[in-house]
């Protein structure tokens, strides 16, 4: 592309181009876009405008989301056709274009389903609108915990942006601070939302330097922040912040099934999304001898060709060569003492244009609690570990997803009851399985909403002694107050 | 009063001396054992050149070592040229912010203050700034030039100066120690104080710092009061980026003449942004030449960069009061062609030496 794509900030008064712009380059270092970085003052004023904005009625939100999703996946936005957009994301993020295309469709679907999906998280005892007749005699109403939500978004894969659409669906105003690595997707999505009748004061796109990112969180009511362990630690005590950490998804192969029929699912779970997502499998635990499993995974993964990301057949991620080499050194340093089944001599495949494919890696560790099983990297990289029934759930803790190929009911109970495991999939289900309306890491609404008691007309308040429950159950408590 | 001062050093405040004549006269004055300050006469012994013989031009000022670090512990009496006699009229002692260690201090004599004020008044008159309006200084007084200049200026233009004081060193200490909350509460306290004045008093001219101005911008009521009452709003004492400035001018304070200044204790003065700049223009500051002059150099080589290129700012102060040549500031700026008759360069788009955000995230997918 000869002309750089302009990624303006999208504030409450419209697009905003700053003097301070960051060049976004592709994996070969070729400039692709210019991102307007807004100063603190702009962030403050934008978030203040979100606080003052009206709440859109639910049906308007649902309709606008659906329209925006359709436009995102089909129309020319900011001068980019869908194909232009997908090509640019693929080149900038080094993500296989087939993954970008699939993500485009997922975002369209997520936008269509967002409103309905959020309603599935509503407690059975709560209604979504206080006008509901149920509130006349006392009922719970599902209400927002705040007005303005901030997302400090990651840039690893476009589909992460499907999640915060639910926040809009629930009536929050949303400020998206994009990753400087891949700002194209949130820019396109926010533009589409604003063109689909979400007012400019309903959803804003605020690219900033790191120093300003905390201002967005400070000024919003609630925030979601993506990052590694350091980000998790930073925000773990802040009830207003929902940190989204490493996925460390895992597969368990217990001995009561033939593992060889599940190799496809394992390989897919490792390499889908180019291995760049939190739902990609980081470790596989094998009851019995893990060696043949590790070898089979390695054999399958080794057959994947090295291709530039925009090639329709590409499966593996591509990074600038220097970054790829840093990644390789990190991997090999940390893999010491393990047995390499694939990638032991390195994972960098130089494409000759300044970029390099990150080839898959399979390493076998000798204990289920080997620290390597927690190392999640942004390419297909999997640690294969031995596991026995005596080890139980312990090595499977701290996982976004555990796919367990087992018939052991007690073990399944253990996985479902384990608080640090977000999702449990049984049988031949890849760890990346996701559906609108089914929680990704609990329902986001669990964080966004609360139930508020409401009663209208004073009926059933216990004052008339008409046999209401509260009066019957707590006569002493109610009595003195009403007398 | 003064011994053998070249008349060029004492020229009327409404005249601009020839740069070369000023420099040569200043060298004779500061390095003559009869008239020079103990500070410079002592340092002259360590110079490998003779200022009186060798220093004639702006470029020659670069021969001097940067002496500003010595200003952290020298007695201020030793900074006064002996030619002023035993009882020169003093305008004040002023100190740096203390960002980089113990504060540096200078002593400003009345004759220099008069010259600086004449320059400032000329500048304000040329822009049609009001007289006989009250000033509000929301910023440091104490040992800092910031509040003192506002006091002198308001007195000269009529009107009274209201003040809300700020101790910048305490704020810096809080931030350095990670006590961000405390710095935050202190700053909000200052804004609260300024609100009383803005609500009840007629304020026509206001001067504050960029961080405080940004805080004010978050309070709708104060923004409204300032737009209604204040004609000219100066900010000083810290940097402001071009995008913030644009927002402040166009969205927050559209009814106020908002003006940036570029000043340093180490040149005993400062300057206001060039009049008539529009948004696309570089944000230019012209120094009070030839007394205060700027150069823009490559931080690695020390060689002057080309016009339009960015580099680190070198400042000089040359007057009868003081000689502070060749001081490399911790600012980056674009080198700009000076106004005709100016010594050295103008500078634009001044920013702090940047801190790059190049953390290398390897582990994890985010």
- Is residue A214 within 8 angstroms of chain B, CB to CB? no
Distance from CA of A464 to the nearest CA of B (A): 48
Can you tell me the mean pLDDT for A75-99?
A: 97
Please indicate whether, in this complex, the C-beta atoms of A19 and B242 are within 8 angstroms of each other: yes
- List of residues 6+ apart from A161 with CB closer than 8 A: A107, A153, A176, A185, A186, A189
Can you tell me the mean pLDDT for A364-376?
A: 97
Nearest by CB to residue B243, choosing from A38, A228, A375, is A38
> What are B94's strand-pairing partners?
B106
Q: Kindly indicate the confidence band of residue A437, based on its pLDDT and cuts at 50, 70 and 90.
A: confident
Write down the pLDDT at residue A467.
Answer: 42
Is residue A466 pLDDT above 50, yes or no? no
Distance from CA of B274 to the nearest CA of A (A): 19
Write down the pLDDT at residue B364.
Answer: 67
- Is residue A114 within 8 angstroms of chain B, CB to CB? no
Nearest CA in chain B to A380: B365
Contact residues on chain B for A20, CB-CB shorter than 8 A = 241-243
Of residues B247 and A477, which shows the higher confidence score? B247
Nearest by CB to residue B365, choosing from A48, A156, A326, is A156
Q: What is the radius of gyration, based on Cα positions, of chain A?
A: 25
Is residue B191 pLDDT above 80, yes or no? yes
The DSSP code for A278 is: T
Among residues B340, B334, B342, B349, which one has the least CA distance to residue B316?
B342
> What are A22's strand-pairing partners?
A35
Element (H, E) at B60: none
Cα separation, B217 vs B201, in Å, equals 19
Please indicate whether, in this complex, the C-beta atoms of A227 and B365 are within 8 angstroms of each other: no
Distance from CA of A42 to the nearest CA of B (A): 7
Cα separation, B346 vs B336, in Å, equals 5
Distance from CA of A290 to the nearest CA of B (A): 25
Distance from CA of A373 to the nearest CA of B (A): 12
Contact residues on chain A for B362, CB-CB shorter than 8 A = 326-327, 330, 377
Can you tell me the mean pLDDT for A164-184?
A: 96
Helix, coil or strand: residue B20: helix
Can you tell me the mean pLDDT for A364-372?
A: 97
Is residue A260 pLDDT above 60, yes or no? yes
> What are A402's strand-pairing partners?
A250, A424
- Is residue A233 within 8 angstroms of chain B, CB to CB? no
Is residue B1 pLDDT above 70, yes or no? no
- Is residue B33 within 8 angstroms of chain A, CB to CB? no
What are the tokens at B263?
Answer: 């000043």
- List of residues 6+ apart from B67 with CB closer than 8 A: B43, B324
Write down the pLDDT at residue B292.
Answer: 97
pLDDT in tens, B309-330: 999 999 999 999 999 999 999 8
Write down the pLDDT at residue B354.
Answer: 64
Can you tell me the mean pLDDT for A471-478?
A: 40
What are the tokens at A151?
Answer: 């997302």
Nearest CA in chain B to A325: B362
Is residue A218 pLDDT above 70, yes or no? yes
Write down the pLDDT at residue A211.
Answer: 82
Q: Where are the domains of chain B?
A: 7-87
Q: Where are the domains of chain A?
A: 5-244, 249-426
**Count of beta carbons in the 10 Å neighbourhood of residue A66:** 17
Look up tokens 């559209």; give the residue.
Answer: B254
Largest separation between any pair of C-alpha atoms in chain A: 86
Give the CATH superfamily of A5-244.
Aldehyde Dehydrogenase; Chain A, domain 1 (3.40.605.10)
Q: Kindly indicate the confidence band of residue B8, based on its pLDDT and cuts at 50, 70 and 90.
A: very high
Sign, Cα dihedral of A206, A211, A212, A214: positive
- Is residue B171 within 8 angstroms of chain A, CB to CB? no
Is residue A405 pLDDT above 80, yes or no? yes
> If you average pLDDT over every residue of chain A, what do you get?
92
Cα separation, B270 vs A96, in Å, equals 56
- Is residue B188 within 8 angstroms of chain A, CB to CB? no
Is the ipTM above a cut-off of 0.85? no
Please indicate whether, in this complex, the C-beta atoms of B247 and A39 are within 8 angstroms of each other: yes
Write down the pLDDT at residue A232.
Answer: 87
Among residues A1, A48, A436, A437, which one has the least CA distance to residue A184?
A1
Cα separation, B321 vs B309, in Å, equals 33
Q: Kindly indicate the confidence band of residue B366, based on its pLDDT and cuts at 50, 70 and 90.
A: low
> If you average pLDDT over every residue of chain B, what do you get?
92
Nearest CA in chain A to B242: A19
Is residue B308 pLDDT above 90, yes or no? yes
- Is residue B278 within 8 angstroms of chain A, CB to CB? no
Helix, coil or strand: residue A281: strand
Strand ranges (DSSP E) for A51-169?
126-127, 139-144, 148-152
Q: Which CATH class is domain A249-426?
A: alpha beta
CA-CA distances (angstroms) from residue A475 to A6, A463, B14?
68, 11, 90
Contact residues on chain B for A40, CB-CB shorter than 8 A = 214, 244
Query: Which string of DSSP letters, residue by residue, matches A87-108?
Result: HHHHHHHT--HHHHHHHHHHHH
- Is residue B246 within 8 angstroms of chain A, CB to CB? yes
The DSSP code for A350 is: E
Cα separation, B94 vs B266, in Å, equals 9
Is residue B107 pLDDT above 50, yes or no? yes
Distance from CA of A379 to the nearest CA of B (A): 8
Is residue B176 pLDDT above 90, yes or no? no
**Is the bond leading into B290 cis (omega within 30 degrees of zero)?**
yes
Please indicate whether, in this complex, the C-beta atoms of B365 and A378 are within 8 angstroms of each other: yes
What are the tokens at A201?
Answer: 């004061």
Is residue B25 pLDDT above 50, yes or no? yes
Write down the pLDDT at residue A468.
Answer: 44
Write down the pLDDT at residue B93.
Answer: 97
In a mutational test of the B interface, the residue from A11, A16, A19 whose CB has the highest number of chain B CBs within 10 Å is: A19
- Is residue B365 within 8 angstroms of chain A, CB to CB? yes
Cα separation, B165 vs B208, in Å, equals 10
pLDDT in tens, A305-344: 999 999 999 999 999 999 999 999 999 999 999 999 999 9
> What are A318's strand-pairing partners?
A357
Write down the pLDDT at residue A435.
Answer: 85
What are the tokens at A436?
Answer: 């609108």
Distance from CA of A331 to the nearest CA of B (A): 9
Write down the pLDDT at residue A231.
Answer: 85
What are the tokens at B354?
Answer: 């940047």
Of residues A37 and B3, which shows the higher confidence score? A37
Of residues A400 and A233, which shows the higher confidence score? A400
Cα separation, B316 vs A13, in Å, equals 44
Q: Kindly indicate the confidence band of residue A483, based on its pLDDT and cuts at 50, 70 and 90.
A: very low
Is residue A96 pLDDT above 80, yes or no? yes
- Is residue B181 within 8 angstroms of chain A, CB to CB? no
Among residues B357, B243, B358, B282, which one has the least CA distance to residue A20?
B243
- List of residues 6+ apart from B142 with CB closer than 8 A: B165, B167
Terminal C-alpha separation, chain A: 79
Please indicate whether, in this complex, the C-beta atoms of B242 and A20 are within 8 angstroms of each other: yes
Contact residues on chain B for A19, CB-CB shorter than 8 A = 241-243, 246
Write down the pLDDT at residue A210.
Answer: 85
- Is residue A332 within 8 angstroms of chain B, CB to CB? no
Write down the pLDDT at residue B356.
Answer: 45
Contact B235, B262 (CB under 8 A): no
Q: Kindly indicate the confidence band of residue B237, based on its pLDDT and cuts at 50, 70 and 90.
A: confident
User: What percent of chain A lies above the pLDDT cut of 90?
Assistant: 87
Please indicate whether, in this complex, the C-beta atoms of A280 and B241 are within 8 angstroms of each other: no
Write down the pLDDT at residue A1.
Answer: 47
Nearest CA in chain B to A153: B366
Write down the pLDDT at residue B361.
Answer: 56
Cα separation, A459 vs A308, in Å, equals 69
Q: Kindly indicate the confidence band of residue B192, based on its pLDDT and cuts at 50, 70 and 90.
A: very high
- Is residue A19 within 8 angstroms of chain B, CB to CB? yes
Please indicate whether, in this complex, the C-beta atoms of A19 and B246 are within 8 angstroms of each other: yes
The DSSP code for B58 is: T
- Is residue A380 within 8 angstroms of chain B, CB to CB? no
Is residue A438 pLDDT above 60, yes or no? yes
Please indicate whether, in this complex, the C-beta atoms of A42 and B248 are within 8 angstroms of each other: no
- Is residue B366 within 8 angstroms of chain A, CB to CB? yes
Contact A192, A72 (CB under 8 A): yes
- Is residue A42 within 8 angstroms of chain B, CB to CB? yes
């Amino acid at each position: 592309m000869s002309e750089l794509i302009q990624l303006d900030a999208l504030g409450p008064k419209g697009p905003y181009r700053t003097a301070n712009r960051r060049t976004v380059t592709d994996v070969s270092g070729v400039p692709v876009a210019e991102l307007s970085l807004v100063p603190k003052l702009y962030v403050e004023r934008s978030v203040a405008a979100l606080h003052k904005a009206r709440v859109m009625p639910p049906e308007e939100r649902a309709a606008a989301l659906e329209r925006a999703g359709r436009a995102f996946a089909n129309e020319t936005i900011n001068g980019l056709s869908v194909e232009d957009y997908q090509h640019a994301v693929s080149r900038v993020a080094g993500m296989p274009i087939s993954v970008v295309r699939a993500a485009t469709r997922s975002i369209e679907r997520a936008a269509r389903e967002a409103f309905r999906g959020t309603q599935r998280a509503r407690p059975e005892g709560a209604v979504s609108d206080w006008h509901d007749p149920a509130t006349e005699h006392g009922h719970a109403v599902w209400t927002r915990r705040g007005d303005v939500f901030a997302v400090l978004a990651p840039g690893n894969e476009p589909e992460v942006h499907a999640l915060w659409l639910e926040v809009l669906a629930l009536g929050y105003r949303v400020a998206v601070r994009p990753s400087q690595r891949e700002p194209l997707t949130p820019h396109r999505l926010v533009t589409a939302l604003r063109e689909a009748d979400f007012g400019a004061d309903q959803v804003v796109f605020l690219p900033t330097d790191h120093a300003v990112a905390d201002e967005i969180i400070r000024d919003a009511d609630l925030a979601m922040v993506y990052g590694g362990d350091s980000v998790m630690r930073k925000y773990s005590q802040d009830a207003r912040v929902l940190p989204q950490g490493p996925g460390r998804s895992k597969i368990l192969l217990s001995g009561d099934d033939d593992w060889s029929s599940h190799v496809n699912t394992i390989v897919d779970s490792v390499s889908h999304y180019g291995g760049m997502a939190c739902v990609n499998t980081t470790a596989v635990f094998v009851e019995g001898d893990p060696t043949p499993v590790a070898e089979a995974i390695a054999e399958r993964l080794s057959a994947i060709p090295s291709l530039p990301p925009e090639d329709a057949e590409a499966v593996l991620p591509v990074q600038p060569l220097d970054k790829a080499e840093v990644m390789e050194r990190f991997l090999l340093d940390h893999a010491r003492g393990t047995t390499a089944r694939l990638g032991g001599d390195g994972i960098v495949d130089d494409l000759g244009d300044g970029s390099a494919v990150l080839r898959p890696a399979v390493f076998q560790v000798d204990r289920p609690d080997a620290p390597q099983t927690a190392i999640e990297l942004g390419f297909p990289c999997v640690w294969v570990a031995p596991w026995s029934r005596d080890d139980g759930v312990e090595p499977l803790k701290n996982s976004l997803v555990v796919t367990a190929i087992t018939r052991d009911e007690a073990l399944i109970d253990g996985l479902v009851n384990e608080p640090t495991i977000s999702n449990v999939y049984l049988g031949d289900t890849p760890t990346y399985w996701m559906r609108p309306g089914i929680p990704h890491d609990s329902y986001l609404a669990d964080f966004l909403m609360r139930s508020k008691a409401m009663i209208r007309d004073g009926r059933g308040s216990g004052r008339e002694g008409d046999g209401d429950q509260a009066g019957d159950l707590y006569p002493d408590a109610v009595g003195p107050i009403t007398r | 009063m003064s011994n053998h001062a070249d008349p060029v050093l004492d020229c009327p405040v409404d005249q601009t001396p020839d740069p070369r004549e000023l420099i040569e006269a200043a060298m004779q004055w500061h390095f003559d054992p009869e008239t020079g300050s103990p500070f410079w006469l002592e340092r002259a012994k360590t110079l490998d050149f003779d200022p009186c013989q060798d220093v004639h031009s702006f470029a020659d000022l670069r021969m001097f070592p940067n002496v500003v670090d010595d200003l952290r512990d020298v007695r201020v009496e030793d900074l006064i040229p002996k030619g002023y006699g035993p009882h020169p009229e003093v305008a004040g002692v002023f100190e740096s912010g203390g960002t980089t260690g113990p504060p540096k201090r200078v002593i400003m004599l009345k004759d220099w203050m008069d010259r600086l004020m004449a320059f400032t008044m000329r500048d304000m008159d040329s822009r049609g700034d009001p007289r006989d309006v009250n000033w509000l200084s929301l910023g440091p007084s104490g040992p800092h030039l910031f509040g003192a200049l506002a006091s002198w200026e308001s007195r000269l233009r009529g009107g009274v100066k209201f003040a809300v004081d700020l101790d910048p060193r305490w704020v810096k200490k809080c931030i350095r120690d990670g006590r961000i909350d405390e710095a935050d509460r202190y700053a909000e306290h200052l804004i609260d104080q300024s609100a009383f004045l803005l609500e009840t008093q007629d304020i026509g001219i206001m001067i504050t710092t960029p961080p405080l101005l940004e805080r004010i911008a978050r309070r709708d009521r104060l923004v409204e009061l300032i737009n209604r009452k204040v004609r000219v709003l100066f900010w000083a004492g810290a940097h402001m980026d071009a995008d913030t400035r644009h927002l402040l001018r166009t969205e927050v304070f559209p009814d106020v003449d908002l003006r940036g200044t570029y000043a340093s204790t180490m040149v005993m003065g400062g300057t206001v942004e060039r009049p008539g700049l529009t948004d696309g223009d570089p944000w230019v500051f012209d120094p009070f030449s030839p007394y205060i002059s700027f150069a823009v150099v490559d931080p690695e080589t020390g060689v002057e960069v080309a016009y339009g290129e960015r580099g680190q700012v070198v400042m000089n102060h040359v007057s009868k009061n003081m000689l502070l040549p060749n001081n490399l500031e911790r600012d980056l700026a674009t080198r700009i062609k000076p106004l005709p008759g100016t010594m050295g360069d103008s500078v634009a788009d001044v920013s702090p030496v940047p801190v790059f955000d190049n953390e290398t995230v390897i582990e994890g997918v985010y």
